[in-house]
Amino acid sequence: MKALGKILGLFFLGLLLIIVALGFALTHLFDPNDYKDEISQLARDKANLELTLNGDIGWSLFPWLGLELTEATLASPSTPDQPFADLRLLGLSVRVLPLLRREVQMSDIRIDGLNLNLQRDAKGRSNWEDIGKPAPTAASTTTASSTGSAPAAPGESTAEQPASPAPSAQPIKLDIDSLIVNGARIDYHDVQKGQQFSAESIQLTTGAIREGANIPLKLSAFFGTNQPVIRARSELQGELRFDRALKRYQLEDAKLSGEVSGEPLDGQTLTYALQGQLLVDLAAQVAEWNSLKFSGNQLRALGELKVRDLDKTPKLSGGLSIAPLNLREFLATIGQKLPPMKDDKSLGQFELVTRLTGTDNSLNFEELQVKLDDSSFTGKLAIADFTKQALRVQLKGDRLDLDRYLPAPSKDSQDASAARKAEVKESVAKAGHNGSTPLPDAPTQQAWSREPMLPIELLRKLDLQLSLGLDQLTAQQQAFTKVNLKANGRAGLLTLEELRGNLGSGNFDARASLDVRPATPLLKVQKSLTRITVEPFLKKPEQPSPLKGLLDFKADLSTSGNSQQAWIDGLNGSASFILNDGVLVDANLEQQLCRGIATLNRKVLNSEPRSKDTPFDSLQGTLSLRNGVAHNPDLKVRLPGLALSGNGDLDLRILGLDYRAGISLLGDQREMPDPACQVNERYVGIEWPLRCRGPLEMGAKACRLDQDGMGKVAAKLAGNKINEKLEEKLGDKVSPELKDALKGLFNR
């Protein structure tokens, strides 16, 4: 037995020596560089690939099958002189004996200086699309051109009867010490779309690559695009784990970090970091990103994402939480310029919590909780279609101060406002407080801005459905409560379906439409106000409101344009109003009437008025608007013991009024504040003329007794007095017809 063992040992030793000697002979006596042309032809025949080996081929046979390629290029056979890839060095080695067991045991794989130049021409054809396709041959061409084919022999497969696939082979087991890629570069250029993309200085290193074990991974690169121009530096670290049998791939403790700059950031830089646990399960068609953490400059966010149905229409679910941050400062660091706002500290506080759902073309923020400055909102927000920019909003909030976010007045509007204020101030100064000064001049200064108000191009593309409820809304320094708003917009037509709420003791309701499809936008408004206190809307910091009361108002208006001035200049429609429990502030019509009566009585007022204001029961009328001028033919005011009626125009373009009115005594015989204006029966039913002209802000202070009309009143009173004397003298001595004719002579 010992002899047999010795013989076997010598046999295997001799066999090993023969194999080593054969390997030595092959590696030293056989030079693969002599077969470069054959290798290139093999690549051309099997892969339809034009392989050019400019450098030397180094190799070893046993116990490692080693290969080293230098200075190689790859091209499509259709463009062999335009390589899409070139390689400075590829080095790898494989253990020979494990290959017999379908195991790949490799040492380090090293790739240096790999350059990929991928292009699509103006017709959309790529310089790599022919790679891997069968190379055309004469036999195949002949077969393809023939009109018939010979019957298939038994057991042979045909196009109609494909051959049964071979049973799947056992997957190859991988065992690689490491993979190293140095200085790789990828360039992509699409001539048809004008797009360019590049990734350069690509560095990839891994630890041992073994299935079912964690593989340390580190990847870094610089990226760039031209539409828009973006430059980025990124680095990825983590531990990769995969199981091909289960089709399960994991990247644990993943950390992606880097910097981004370019046109979208307006020259600013975003420093970002992402980390978490990634899983792709192709058997279940699920991808997950758990323990997600994101930071971008000041922004900090946590969340988790899950995508299912990867093989169909992917469906997204998950959650996201953004920690409190100064949104204004963050947007500035990423080059997003905010429009000027009245409050330069707005958008100072922001935080968000939401649940995410979506598809490859939509994203929904459900169970949304948002805090913005002093406001809190709940509800949902969705981008229903990314391609159509379809936005769906359904929110409820506690409060919103809209004034903080409105644009600051432009210089032009500030100059126009200053000019108008100066004009009004001059008119008020000339008017005085006792109504004895001359009638104020009509204003001339335009009261509205010419600055564009609406982003027309954006509105034309907008696809919107909006539902908003607010406990309190502050706008134009007024506090509205229980506000509900519903609006939608599509294909350039925006509709305000509902805007209603409460203001003080009253309520409001409005509907509107905005059509931005024409070159000049068209606007229609229907508005209804019930018992709205008018004083807050008319008062200004430099002057009190000229009018008080509770307003009921209805209007149906239309206009066109895209500025305040254009809207007012083109304003047309109709309206009706009634103001109850009102007061004309700082305008004592009773005193002015008393002055007129004293003039007719040829007496002088001996006392000052007890009040500067004039209360009234109601003020009502209708308006017919045409090109910014509202004609009011039926103004009626009821005051205690008095009645006023009149007609005139409100020129909304310059906020001026021009009215003629008459005040009638209703027979009130109470003692007046001054004996000089004592009312007697002669004055009952007489309409005392009033003229109002000047800036709308002056209110009743712009009104004076109409001196021309007073002459007619005096003549009428004189005629009445003569008639009384005729009645007294003639008595029953003449016929009634003659008596009436004589009276008529004095009443003309």
Q: Is residue 569 within 8 Å of residue 560, measured between CB atoms?
A: no
pLDDT of residue 617: 80
pLDDT of residue 701: 74
Unique residue bearing structure tokens 């009234």: 616
Residue 109 CA, distance from chain mean position: 50
Higher-confidence residue: 221 or 25?
Answer: 221
Decide if pLDDT at 745 tops 50. Answer: no
pLDDT of residue 16: 46
pLDDT of residue 404: 92
Least Cα distance to 49 among 149, 132, 113 occurs for: 132
Decide if pLDDT at 305 tops 50. Answer: yes
Decide if pLDDT at 477 tops 80. Answer: yes
Least confident of 329-338, 481-490, 635-644, 681-690: 681-690
Amino acid at 505: S
pLDDT of residue 619: 85
Name the token pair of 370.
Answer: 């948002």
Q: Is residue 595 within 8 Å of residue 677, measured between CB atoms?
A: yes
Higher-confidence residue: 79 or 747?
Answer: 79
The residue ranges of every structural domain in the chain are 24-129+172-210, 439-451+521-705, 713-748
pLDDT of residue 450: 85
Residue 693 CA, distance from chain mean position: 45
Decide if pLDDT at 270 tops 60. Answer: yes
Decide if pLDDT at 124 tops 70. Answer: yes
Q: Tell me the per-residue pLDDT of 648-660, one tens digit each, with 9 for 90 and over.
A: 999 998 888 898 8
Higher-confidence residue: 328 or 732?
Answer: 328
> What is the percent of the chain where pLDDT is above 70?
71
> What is the percent of the chain where pLDDT is above 90?
42
Q: What is the mean pLDDT of the chain?
A: 80
Q: Is residue 648 within 8 Å of residue 694, measured between CB atoms?
A: no
Q: pLDDT confidence of 451, banded at 50, 70, 90?
A: confident
pLDDT of residue 412: 60
Handedness of CA 572, 576, 581, 586 (dihedral sign): positive
**Local structure of 166: helix, strand or coil:** coil
Mean pLDDT computed over 41-54: 80
Task: Please count the other Cβ atoms lying within 10 Å of the Cβ belonging to residue 106.
Answer: 20
Q: pLDDT confidence of 536, banded at 50, 70, 90?
A: confident
Q: Tell me the per-residue pLDDT of 404-438, one tens digit each, with 9 for 90 and over.
A: 998 776 666 666 566 666 666 666 666 655 555 67
| 283/274 Cα distance (integer angstroms) | 27
| 623/632 Cα distance (integer angstroms) | 5
Mean pLDDT computed over 287-305: 95
Name the token pair of 734.
Answer: 């003449």
Q: Is residue 136 within 8 Å of residue 104, measured between CB atoms?
A: no
Least confident of 102-111, 246-255, 270-279, 420-429: 420-429
User: How far apart, in Å, are the Cα atoms of 273 and each of 255, 264, 659?
Assistant: 7, 19, 70
Higher-confidence residue: 629 or 608?
Answer: 629
Least Cα distance to 476 among 508, 446, 450, 452 occurs for: 508
The 3-class secondary structure across 667-678, one letter per residue, is CCCCCCCCHHHC
pLDDT of residue 710: 60
| 292/721 Cα distance (integer angstroms) | 98
Q: pLDDT confidence of 129, banded at 50, 70, 90?
A: confident
Decide if pLDDT at 135 tops 80. Answer: no
Decide if pLDDT at 105 tops 90. Answer: no
pLDDT of residue 481: 94
Decide if pLDDT at 180 tops 70. Answer: yes
Q: pLDDT confidence of 575, banded at 50, 70, 90?
A: very high
The partner residues of 52 in beta bridges, in order of sequence, read 73
| 629/634 Cα distance (integer angstroms) | 16
Decide if pLDDT at 46 tops 70. Answer: yes
| 502/553 Cα distance (integer angstroms) | 14
Rounded to the nearest 10 degrees, how much is the dihedral formed by the CA atoms of 333, 336, 337, 343?
-70
Where is mean pLDDT largest: 111-125, 163-177, 667-681, 705-719?
Answer: 111-125
Higher-confidence residue: 582 or 422?
Answer: 582
Task: Please count the other Cβ atoms lying within 10 Å of the Cβ belonging to residue 177.
Answer: 15
pLDDT of residue 577: 92
Q: Is residue 433 within 8 Å of residue 586, measured between CB atoms?
A: yes
Where is mean pLDDT largest: 20-29, 218-227, 538-547?
Answer: 218-227
pLDDT of residue 401: 94
**Local structure of 630: helix, strand or coil:** strand
Higher-confidence residue: 459 or 141?
Answer: 459
| 73/50 Cα distance (integer angstroms) | 8
Q: Tell me the per-residue pLDDT of 346-388, one tens digit each, with 9 for 90 and over.
A: 999 999 999 999 999 999 999 999 999 999 999 999 999 998 8
| 363/317 Cα distance (integer angstroms) | 10
pLDDT of residue 678: 58
Mean pLDDT computed over 10-16: 45
User: How far apart, in Å, are the Cα atoms of 267 and each of 264, 329, 332, 646?
Assistant: 8, 15, 11, 64
Name the token pair of 301.
Answer: 């966010």
